Amino acid sequence: MRQRIAHVDDDPDIRDTVHHILSAHGYEVDSYQTAKDFIDSLSNPSIVPDLAILDVMVESMDAGLTTYVELHNRFPRMQAIFLTSLGDMILPYFENKSEKWIWIIEKPIEPSGLLSIVHDRLS
Per-residue pLDDT band for 86 (boundaries 50, 70, 90) equals low
CA distances from 20 to 2, 23, 25 (A): 15, 5, 9
Structural domain boundaries in the chain: 4-122
pLDDT on residue 78 = 86
User: Would you tell me the crossing angle of helices 12-24 and 111-122 to the nearest 10 degrees?
Assistant: 60
Q: Which CATH architecture has domain 4-122?
A: 3-Layer(aba) Sandwich (3.40)
pLDDT (tens digit per residue) in 36-67: 999 999 999 888 999 999 987 777 667 777 88
Q: Which of 70, 56, 49 is nearest to 11 (CA)?
A: 56
